[in-house]
Structure 1
Amino acid sequence: MSKRHISLKDLANELKVSISTVSRALKNHPDISPELTLKIQKLAADWNYTPNPLAMGLLRQQTKMIGVIVPDIVTHFYASIISGIEEVAKQHGYYIVIASSNESLQKEIESVENLLKSRVEGFIVCLSQETNKYDHFEKLNSNEIPLVFFDRICESLDVPSVVVDGVEATKKITRHFYENGCKRIAYISGPEHLNISKNRKVGYLEGLKECGLKFDPQFLVTCNLSTKDATRATRQLLTNKILPDAIFGLNDTIAFAAMKEIKNQGLKIPDDIALVGFTDEFHSTVVEPSLTSVTHPTFKMGQEAANLFFKCIRNGKGFSEKIELKADLIIRESTLK
């Protein structure tokens, strides 16, 4: 079948049964034989049928609800973005329904399905760290459901998005290290399929080149964004024959884990190793030493994502504006030698 929305009528016509029979079979109604139920459900799956929440007629009914999916709802980073989204949503008379993927692809898929059942009009999403398949979002897009990504985005889908200029921000970090006498600069990156990992790696490599420093592969390691794996990655850097004199992490969670491991190894920050994070979480100012970090304009990111959502509604199919925000490096004790 084509990518247009598949209806109950399409399934009924194909199998030469009534629409009510199809509807009941999809609900596992006991009046429908197991054989026919299986046949109908198989066709529905093969044809990518989705129930009423995806129907275009329903989407034209304004429910005034936006589904917002984030990797977690604990960190200040996402809380601030959600606040920005909510402010703009309220200005338009909309409410937001928040779901956390907990960095799980499966939970992200389930969140999409559950929010559709709640009859949200569309989605504003930051991908989980596991998300490297995008069928659930491609389905939304093909059915013309408003979809906006922020921070971690699906680059293969031509839909609106808001990101921070990770390349320039990471070049700022590298230059700051260099200007403070660091020449063995290490980077703890995240999953390689994430756009934020790729962009910050580009900035790291370009920053080294601009500073006249040679890239050493032993100073580039990856982790899965968990504290445990960030600790493992830091330990890997600290067991090299040549120690780095500077480390920066893809985000502050990684940097906090690195800080703890550096201290556990009996090394001093910043005297032995300077340290920088990314996202400027609240704890950056209260750890010892305070953490130099790149601050995101998080509230603005949320506002811009919501603005793009309402532009999607107004402009319809094909709208795909991309917004790139600038980030600042906030210098604190962890890099002041």
Structure 2
Amino acid sequence: MGNRHTSLKDLARELNVSISTVSRALRNHPDISPEMREKVKQLANLRKYSPNPLAMGLLKQETRMIGVIVPDLVTHFYASIISGIESLAKEKGYFILIASSNESAEKEKESIENLRKARVEGLLICLSQETTDTGHFENLLEQGIPLVFFDRVCLQGQIPTVTADNAEAAGKITRHFYEQGYRRIAFISGPEQLNISRERLAGYKAGLEACNLPVDPDLIERCNLSHDSARQAMSRLLKLPNPPDAVFGINDTVAFAVMKEIKEHGLRIPRDMGLVGFTDEFHATVVEPQLTSITHPTFEMGRKAAELFFDKIEKNAPPETIILQTKLVVRESSAKHSD
């Protein structure tokens, strides 16, 4: 046989019996004589036969595979969520297939089609930043395909979702800036259609109100979550007649780009400009100064998303929305009082 995986067909050919006879013999089916069962098992051991889970799943119309789509496979944020999903999937005897949308709505649709062709039993998805139309998700719903959203979500109430408490977290950031003595607090948001942009903007505004600070539209910028776009947004803020003295980036990628732009303008962080990120990537602790950021319970987010998936396929549970709490980790980039 060489190194090739031994199949039921191989065993059947060698014994000169049908594949179904071999399959039933291995399952101790009463229609197969004890002698034949023993003969099949001995040959299976000799040839080191092991069942192919995908082939077995296709026979039962189940593959025990779950598709997972994330915007990128580079950041620790998504890697940790995937680990959380995989941990529960493994306990349930499932495998996961991972695809990246690369922040493209078209690639997201393509990934869904590819994972469907691979016969996944359902999908766990974090939306791409370009996604505005939900038709491809509604098609999955109509076909009865189990679907769960995490972090960036849509169709809440129709599809199970797991998110962080984005508004509460953004409010924490704004109040922290105020307590450190900052008064012109800017926010660089992401694409308007994303729930994380809307929710963090609402929390930012609520935080300003709680601190009796006005909402200045000039201090609210948007970017497409890329490094260059974030730097351009920060450059626009720095050119204002009355520029900010603190900036909150919608995620750490944005915050790192902002940090570079601030430094290139000869400003010091945190003395001249406070800076806070969101998602607490590994690099937050190795940049200079270390970045204050919001930490997500990412592994828990993945576990919860997987729990919602299994609740759906095992109990046909109604759509549930889970909101997880975050933590503000204060480091050097916003600690003005300790500078």
* Structure 1 position 155, deviation (Å): 3.3
Amino acid of the structure 2 residue aligned with 1:194: L
Q: Relative to 1, partners in 2 of residues 1:211 and 1:116: Cα closer, same or farther, differing over 3 Å?
A: same
Secondary structure in 2 matching 1:242: coil
Partner of 2:83: 83
SS at match of 2:162: strand
The alignment covers a number of residue pairs equal to 279
Look up the SS of the partner of 1:128 in the other structure: coil
2:322 alignment partner in structure 1: 323
The equivalent residue for 2:303 is: 303
1:241, distance to aligned residue in structure 2 (A) = 0.6
Shift of 1:59: 11
For residues 13-58 of structure 1, what are the alpha-carbon distances to aligned partners after superposition, in whole Å with 9 as ceiling and x for unaligned? xxxxxxxxxxxxxxxxxxxxxxxxxxxxxxxxxxxxxxxxxxxxx8
Output the amino acid matched with 2:74: V
**Equivalent residues in 2 for 1:262-273 (5 A)?**
262-273=262-273
- 1:290 maps to which residue? 290
- 2:84·2:303 contact (CA, 8 Å) conserved in 1? yes
Structure 1 pair 156–309 and aligned structure 2 pair: CA distance change class (3 A):
closer
Percentage of pairs with the same residue: 61
Paired with 1:284 and 1:89, the residues of 2 have a C-alpha distance of: 30
**Which residue type is aligned with residue 336 of structure 1?**
A
Q: Which runs of 5+ in 1 are unaligned?
A: 1-57
Residue aligned with 2:123, SS:
strand
- Counterpart of 2:245? 245
Alignment correspondent of 1:259? 259
Say if 1:323 and 1:157 are closer, same or farther in 2 by CA, change over 3 A: closer
Assess, with a 3 A threshold, how the Cα gap between structure 1 residues 150 and 86 changes in structure 2: closer, same or farther. Answer: same
Amino acid at match of 1:78: Y
Distance 1:192 1:94, change over 3 A: same
Aligned 8 A contact 1:155 1:195 in 2: no
Partner of 1:47: none
For residues 183-203 of structure 1, give each alpha carbon's deviation from its aligned partner in whole angstroms, at most 9, with x where no partner exists.
Answer: 100000000010000000000
Structure 2 counterpart of 1:144:
144
Q: Aligned residue for 1:99?
A: 99
Gap change, CA 1:292 and 1:269, over 3 Å in 2: same
* CA drift at 1:144: 1.2
Counterpart amino acid of 1:225? L
Q: Which amino acid aligns with 2:181?
A: G
Structure 2, unaligned runs of 5 or more: 1-57
Whole-angstrom distance in 1 between the partners of 2:60 and 2:144 = 11
Structure 2 contact 147–159 (Cα < 8 Å) conserved? yes
Distance (Å, rounded) in 2 between the aligned partners of 1:305 and 1:187: 29
* Residue aligned with 2:247, SS: strand
Measure how far apart 1:315 and its partner are.
2.8
What amino acid maps onto 1:132 in structure 2? Answer: T
Q: 1:157 to 1:106 in 2, by over 3 A?
A: farther
Residue 76 of structure 1 aligns with an amino acid whose one-letter code is: H
Give the TM-score normalised by the residue count of structure 1: 0.81
Equivalent AA in structure 2 for residue 330 of structure 1: V
Given the superposition, is the C-alpha separation of residues 247 and 59 from structure 1 closer, same or farther in structure 2, using an over 3 Å criterion? farther
Secondary structure of 2:138 counterpart:
helix
| Shift, 1:60, TM fit | 7.5
Residue 191 and residue 136 in structure 1: after superposition, are their counterparts in 2 closer, same or farther (change >3 A)?
A: same
**C-alpha separation in 2, matches of 1:136 and 1:212:** 44
Offset at 1:313? 0.3
1:108 match: secondary structure: helix
Alignment partners' CA distance in 2, 1:207 and 1:167: 9
Instruction: Return the TM-score normalized by structure 2.
Output: 0.81
Could you list the structure 1 runs, at least 4 aligned residues long, displaced by more than 3 angstroms after superposition: none
Residue identity in the other structure for 1:256: F
Distance 1:59 1:82, change over 3 A: farther
Q: What RMSD, in angstroms, separates the aligned Cα atoms of the two structures? A: 1.2
Q: How far off its partner does 1:61 sit?
A: 1.8
Taking the TM superposition and a 5 Å limit, the aligned residue runs for 1:211-230 are 211-230=211-230
Alignment of 1:120-131 (within 5 A): 120-131=120-131
In structure 2, do the counterparts of structure 1 residues 188 and 59 end up closer, same or farther at CA, with 3 Å as the change threshold? Answer: farther
CA shift at 1:158, angstroms? 1.0
